[in-house]
């Protein structure tokens, strides 16, 4: 593929993350046809949505059909947004000459898929993380928890759609959590093995890095807001908002995180035969004793991706291809020196039960401010062309500002202009540093 030829792209996924990646890829002069499978109501305006494929485009079981689609549409860059297909090995299955597939191979995605493996690797490489013990035997886990005097976190070892982590304040809660995972099998197989770890205190940050197998380019630090309610109250969600950059991580701390967390993991993977390529995302707690890893993800975070794409300078096609090719050192990558605040508008009831099919209005009005961009997540266009809600997290409203306060104000003002039945959002994204 010459540097001049157009790159036809397939983005797999349907969230705000995938819309933001498409928005940024589309800005490249090299962007040819852009497909989203399945996509959402917003991605349809950037490229071609493929909502009605006779197979599931984010399921590794259907890799042959996805490969066939790519061959027949001359796709030379496939971007995989969500974790399930990465952990299932879709990158391995789609490998082909003349095609770049952005994301780690299955043995790399294991860092996210298997928390026991991830803990073992951290221990082996002295990466700072919470003390923990792994259990496959329920009685043994109960016995361990009953004899502990400090609070714990109970984690299902496998993938549980972001729900398999239960932060406990008392031993009773921890015992309930063990029962939920190991006896009731609330997270299926993912919870048959659990990790019980010390509960850490401090500020949480998300550090995402592009990794090309060897080179690491750390992206500006972000902070996600997982609890559903203002001031981090209520149950955890996929993320109710994020901002970038966060002042919680200065250059010195960033260097420490790169040296003590990212480099050892990437090097250890390579030694063990895996060239990790794609995004390595460390969820960190900034404790009094320094940063400690809560989890690794092997993809862009949602909503962290949205403010990152708003601030990223440079050609994302070049950046992604360089990541796949191992030439990350050769690309230009820098940041717009402003702050971005991203506020998620959700359906009433989320993260519990919610209704869908509610008409959405006001997006154009919100985007009248050139600092505002609305990314879609749970939206779709009806046959009649009406934009309606189709999920729990509906929209990610991003606003740029000269500082976090201005960015937050602009994002909140934009949210006020957007309406759908039952809509709600947090007005305090960034409060922990304001």
The item of ligand AMP, ligand GLY, none sharing an interface with residue 263, based on CB under 5 to 8 Å by kind, is none
Helix (H) or strand (E) holding 229: strand 227-229
Rounded Cα distance between 230 and 434, Å, is 14
Using rule CB under 6 A, residue 224 touches ligand GLY: yes
CB-based closest residue to ligand AMP: 295
75 CB-near residues (< 8 Å, 6+ apart): 8, 9, 10, 35, 69, 99
Of 220, 304, 318, 428, the one binding ligand GLY by CB under 6 A: 304
Q: 239, 220 in Cβ contact below 8 A?
A: no
Nearest distance from residue 308's CB to ligand AMP, in Å? 18
**Choice between 80 and 294, CB closer to ligand AMP:** 294
The item of ligand AMP, ligand GLY, none sharing an interface with residue 297, based on CB under 5 to 8 Å by kind, is ligand GLY
Span interacting with ligand GLY, options 46-54, 135-143, 301-309, 344-352, rule CB under 6 A = 301-309
Helix (H) or strand (E) holding 143: helix 138-146
Rounded (5°) CA angle 45-49-55: 170
Q: 67, 73 in Cβ contact below 8 A?
A: no
Using rule CB under 6 A, residue 315 touches ligand GLY: no
**Choice between 212 and 302, CB closer to ligand GLY:** 302
For CA atoms 155, 228, 357, 391, give the dihedral sign: negative
Using rule CB under 6 A, residue 297 touches ligand GLY: yes
For tokens 């009433």, the residue is 348
Using rule CB under 6 A, residue 112 touches ligand GLY: no
Summarize as ranges the residues that interact with ligand AMP (CB under 6 A).
Answer: 130, 153, 165, 167, 197, 199-200, 204, 226, 283, 294-295
Using rule CB under 6 A, residue 323 touches ligand GLY: no
**Choice between 304 and 371, CB closer to ligand GLY:** 304
Nearest distance from residue 39's CB to ligand AMP, in Å? 26
Using rule CB under 6 A, residue 239 touches ligand GLY: yes
138 CB-near residues (< 8 Å, 6+ apart): 178, 179, 182, 183
Rounded Cα distance between 215 and 110, Å, is 20
**Choice between 109 and 414, CB closer to ligand AMP:** 109
């Amino acid at each position: 593929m010459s540097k001049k030829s157009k790159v036809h792209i397939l983005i797999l996924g349907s969230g705000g993350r995938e819309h933001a990646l498409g928005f940024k890829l589309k800005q490249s002069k090299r962007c040819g046809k852009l497909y989203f499978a399945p996509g959402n109501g917003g991605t349809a305006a950037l490229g071609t949505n493929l909502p009605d494929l006779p197979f599931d485009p984010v399921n590794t079981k259907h890799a042959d059909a996805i490969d066939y689609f790519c061959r027949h549409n001359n796709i030379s860059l496939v971007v995989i947004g969500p974790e399930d297909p990465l952990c299932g090995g879709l990158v391995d299955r789609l490998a082909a000459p003349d095609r770049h597939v952005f994301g780690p191979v299955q043995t790399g995605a294991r860092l996210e898929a298997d928390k026991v493996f991830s803990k073992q690797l951290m221990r082996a490489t002295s990466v700072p993380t919470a003390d923990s013990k792994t259990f496959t035997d329920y009685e043994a886990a109960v016995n361990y928890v009953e004899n502990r005097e400090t609070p714990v976190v109970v984690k299902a070892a496998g993938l549980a759609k972001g729900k398999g982590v239960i932060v406990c304040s008392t031993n009773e809660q921890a015992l309930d959590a063990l029962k939920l995972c190991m006896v009731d099998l609330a997270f299926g197989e993912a919870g048959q093995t659990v990790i019980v770890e010390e509960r850490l205190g401090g500020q949480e940050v998300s550090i995402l890095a592009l990794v090309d197998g060897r080179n690491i380019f750390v992206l500006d630090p972000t902070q996600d807001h997982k609890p559903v309610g203002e001031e981090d109250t209520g149950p955890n969600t996929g993320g109710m908002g994020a901002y970038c950059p966060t002042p919680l991580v200065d250059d010195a701390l960033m260097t420490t995180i790169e040296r003590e967390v990212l480099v050892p993991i990437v090097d250890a993977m390579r030694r063990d035969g895996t060239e990790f390529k794609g995004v390595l995302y460390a969820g960190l707690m900034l404790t009094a004793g320094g940063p400690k890893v809560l989890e690794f993800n092997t993809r862009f975070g949602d909503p962290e991706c949205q403010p990152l794409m708003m601030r990223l300078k440079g050609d994302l096609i070049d950046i992604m291809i360089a990541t796949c090719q191992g030439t990350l050192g050769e690309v230009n990558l820098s940041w717009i020196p402003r702050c971005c605040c991203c506020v998620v508008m959700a359906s009433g009831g989320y993260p519990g039960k919610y209704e869908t099919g509610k008409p959405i209005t006001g997006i154009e009005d919100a985007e009248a401010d050139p600092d505002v961009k609305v990314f879609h997540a749970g939206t779709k266009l009806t046959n009649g062309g009406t934009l309606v809600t189709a999920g729990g997290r509906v929209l990610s409203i991003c606003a740029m500002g000269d500082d976090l306060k201005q960015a937050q104000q602009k994002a909140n003002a934009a949210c006020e202009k957007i309406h759908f039945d039952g809509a709600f959002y947090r007005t305090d994204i960034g409060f922990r540093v304001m």
